[in-house]
Amino acid sequence: MRRFSYVARGVAWRSIHNTVVNPAILVPSIVFPLFFLVAFAGGLSRISDIPRFDYKPGYTAFQFAFVFLQSAAFGGVFTGFAVARDFESGFARRLLLSSPNRSGIIAGYVLGALARWMIVGAVVTVAALAAGMNVEGDGIQLTGLLGLGLGMNFAAALWAIGLAMFLRTEQAGPLIQMPVFVALFLAPVYVPLSLLTGWVHAVSSVNPITAVIEAGRGLLAGSPVKVLLAFVLLGAAGTLFAAFARRGLASAERAG
C-alpha cells in the first residue's frame, strides 16, 4: 500500500501541476461547460414556458445540473488525452519501468482528473449563481449532487484511461470522447424525459445517464428522485471501467 500511495501521489501531483501551469489544458475544460451553460440556459430559456415543464427552480438550474455533470464526464475524458500524450512522448513507458506499484499509475491519473474537475465545477457553479440560478436543495442534497459529479468523473476517467492505455496514441482522442458525448446527449438535455417523443424518448428511457441527470436535477430542486439508482449505476460503471483500465494497463505493460 505504501508503494501504491507513493506512485498515485506522484502521478496525481504531476497531473495537477501540468493542469495549473498549462492554460492549454485547463482553459478548454472551463470554456466548454461555460459555453454550454450560456447557450442552453440563456438561449433556450423560453422552453420553460411550454406546457408541462414544471421544474420549479427554473431553466437555468435545469440546465446547470446537466452541464455540471457533463463537465465532470468531460473532465474524466480529457485525462485520457493526457495519458495518450504521455505514451507518445515516452514518459508513460518510463513511468511503467520506474513504478514499484503500477496500479498506482491509474489511481494517480484518476485523482488528477478529480482535482481538475473540482476547479471546473467550482467555476461553472459560480457562473450559474451569478446568472441568477435558483437553488432549492438543502446542504445534504447539494452534497449528493456533488457526489454524482464525482462518480461521473471517476467512471469517465477510468474509461478514458483504459482506452488510452490500450491504444497509446493521441489519435485515439475521438474514440475516447465520442461514446461519452453521444451518451450524454441521448439523455433528456433540453426538456424533461416526459416531454420527449419518438425514438429519442425510447433511447433516453434506457440510457443510464438519464437517471443520473434526473437525480441531479431532483437534488438541486430539493425533490430527490432516483438518487439511489443513480449512485448504483455510477458504482457499477466505476467497477466495470476500473477492470477495463486495469486491462489497459496490462496491455501497455506487455507492449513495453
DSSP 92-104: HHHHHHH-SSTHH
- What pLDDT was estimated at residue 206? 95
The pTM assigned to this predicted structure is 0.92
The range of the structural domain enclosing residue 120 comes to 2-255
**Chain segment 78-93, per-residue pLDDT in tens:** 899 989 989 998 888 8
Contacts of 159 (CB under 8 A, 6+ apart): 76, 77, 80, 176, 179, 180, 241, 244, 245
Angle of CA points 127, 62, 138, to nearest 5° = 80
Residue type, 134: N
Residue 45 pLDDT class (50, 70, 90 cuts):
confident
Question: Would you state the cell numbers that stand for residue 27, as one nine-digit string?
Answer: 482553459
In the 8-state DSSP scheme, what is residue 168? -
Contacts of 256 (CB under 8 A, 6+ apart): 93
Question: Would you state the cell numbers that stand for residue 222, as one nine-digit string?
Answer: 430539493
- What pLDDT was estimated at residue 256? 66
**Chain segment 106-154, per-residue pLDDT in tens:** 999 999 999 999 999 999 999 999 988 999 999 999 999 999 999 999 9
- What pLDDT was estimated at residue 125? 95
With a pLDDT cut of 90, the percent of the chain lying above it is: 61
Mean pLDDT across 50-65:
88
Residue 66 pLDDT class (50, 70, 90 cuts):
very high
**Chain segment 198-243, per-residue pLDDT in tens:** 999 999 999 999 999 999 999 999 999 999 999 999 999 999 999 9
**Chain segment 161-206, per-residue pLDDT in tens:** 999 999 999 888 899 999 999 999 999 998 999 888 899 999 999 9
Q: What total number of domains does the chain contain?
A: 1
